[in-house]
Copies of this chain bind each other. A is one copy, B any other.
């Protein structure tokens, strides 16, 4: 080993740089989506697996989040990764690092939150490990099942596809703002405030979309499908799908919906920023031909919308049919940036 190599530290290349170097240890065909997809032998079905690690002080904090919400949000994020692949959940495992000073009721609160969220989707914690450690950290692995013809991949968008969202964006980011700045939006009605805060503390993975989507895919002619979830923001989702599929997109600003109540306490520009870049709304962003896309939007109802079209080229543009805002080109650098 050269001394140069051995002296390179994680801080020199960052988590993203390290992840890229580690990908050579994984099979190339199953890296780069929300979750790994493997054939489950002798079943004609696929197994879908996703892992998230959450560290106290980095991904959650005792000071701003109840243990029940830490658990709920962790479960929701993992179930959303399964939904993003088209998979139904089978269970999760939890690898827990706790310190000697961690309160038992805090740990039980996290598990209660995990269980509460999982129960909504008829699934459960099936195992795990608990170890003593200098820090508190949670490693969650969720696994699910999908029929190979129903897998949703990032890299399958085609020019001419409609881009749809399964719900409004920006609610989670607005809820976070209300938690961070209690004076902000204080003239909102209680149910409006709590709706936004709930969107942040108890996000809902869109597993409910899968049966509706499944019926539309059961057409005589095969329907191509691409997509992912919007956990890192709507802009990021569209950009990731376009990058993986080698295509571009045009989004129509007037079609990107945020909760109406946002008009009462932020500018339209701020609301659009939260919708595009806020993240953690856990909606699905799907690309499919215009006709089935329209049917899906109609069946999903309120909040679901066609927001744009897949184009040739590699650029993603946000256009304004109303001509109030200048056209804006979206880029991954901005998409990764959390406010």
Known A-B contacts A43-B43, A101-B9, A107-B22; the reply to A129 vs B133 at CB < 8 A is no
Say whether A112 contacts B25, CB under 8 Å. Answer: yes
Name A residues whose Cβ lies closer than 8 Å to a Cβ of B: 1, 5-13, 15, 18-19, 21-22, 25-27, 30-31, 35-36, 38, 40-45, 47, 49-55, 58-59, 90-91, 93-105, 107-108, 111-112, 114-115, 124-135, 137, 139, 141, 143, 145
Tell me how far the C-beta of A143 lies from the nearest C-beta in chain B, rounded to whole angstroms: 7
Say whether A47 contacts B111, CB under 8 Å. Answer: no
- Pick from B40, B42, B104: contact of A10, CB below 8 A: B104
Say whether A105 contacts B8, CB under 8 Å. Answer: yes
Identity of the chain B residue whose Cβ is nearest the Cβ of A109 in the assembled complex: B1
Say whether A53 contacts B12, CB under 8 Å. Answer: no
Identity of the chain B residue whose Cβ is nearest the Cβ of A90 in the assembled complex: B38
- Pick from B7, B126, B145: contact of A36, CB below 8 A: B126
Task: Kindly list chain B residues whose C-beta atoms are within 8 Å of the C-beta of A129.
Answer: 51-53, 139
Say whether A40 contacts B30, CB under 8 Å. Answer: no
Task: Kindly list chain B residues whose C-beta atoms are within 8 Å of the C-beta of A26.
Answer: 124-128
Tell me how far the C-beta of A36 lies from the nearest C-beta in chain B, rounded to whole angstroms: 4
- Pick from B12, B21, B45: contact of A41, CB below 8 A: B45
Alpha-carbon gap, A135 to B53, bound state (A): 13
Alpha-carbon gap, A247 to B289, bound state (A): 63
Task: Kindly list chain B residues whose C-beta atoms are within 8 Å of the C-beta of A21.
Answer: 104, 108
Say whether A45 contacts B53, CB under 8 Å. Answer: no
Identity of the chain B residue whose Cβ is nearest the Cβ of A1 in the assembled complex: B105
Identity of the chain B residue whose Cβ is nearest the Cβ of A99 in the assembled complex: B10
Alpha-carbon gap, A90 to B41, bound state (A): 9
**Integer count of this chain's copies in the complex:** 2
Show 26 A/B contacts (Cβ-Cβ < 8 Å), sorted by A: A10-B104, A10-B107, A13-B104, A15-B131, A22-B130, A25-B124, A25-B125, A26-B126, A30-B126, A36-B93, A36-B126, A38-B126, A47-B90, A49-B91, A49-B93, A49-B141, A51-B95, A52-B95, A52-B129, A53-B95, A53-B130, A54-B131, A55-B132, A93-B141, A134-B134, A134-B135
Task: Kindly list chain B residues whose C-beta atoms are within 8 Å of the C-beta of A102.
Answer: 9-10
Q: Is the interface of A mostly helix, strand, loop or mixed?
A: mixed
Alpha-carbon gap, A92 to B136, bound state (A): 23
Alpha-carbon gap, A111 to B36, bound state (A): 17
Known A-B contacts A95-B141, A129-B51; the reply to A40 vs B90 at CB < 8 A is yes
Alpha-carbon gap, A128 to B31, bound state (A): 10
Known A-B contacts A22-B108, A91-B49, A111-B22; the reply to A137 vs B97 at CB < 8 A is yes
Alpha-carbon gap, A21 to B108, bound state (A): 8
Say whether B25 contacts A143, CB under 8 Å. Answer: no
Known A-B contacts A40-B45, A99-B10; the reply to A5 vs B131 at CB < 8 A is no
Identity of the chain B residue whose Cβ is nearest the Cβ of A12 in the assembled complex: B104
Say whether B97 contacts A127, CB under 8 Å. Answer: no
Say whether B107 contacts A18, CB under 8 Å. Answer: yes
Query: When A and B form their complex, which 7 residue pairs have the shortest distance between CB atoms, in order from nearest?
Result: A43-B43, A139-B139, A11-B100, A95-B139, A36-B127, A141-B141, A36-B126
Most central of A55, A59, A100, A137 by chain B CB within 10 Å: A137
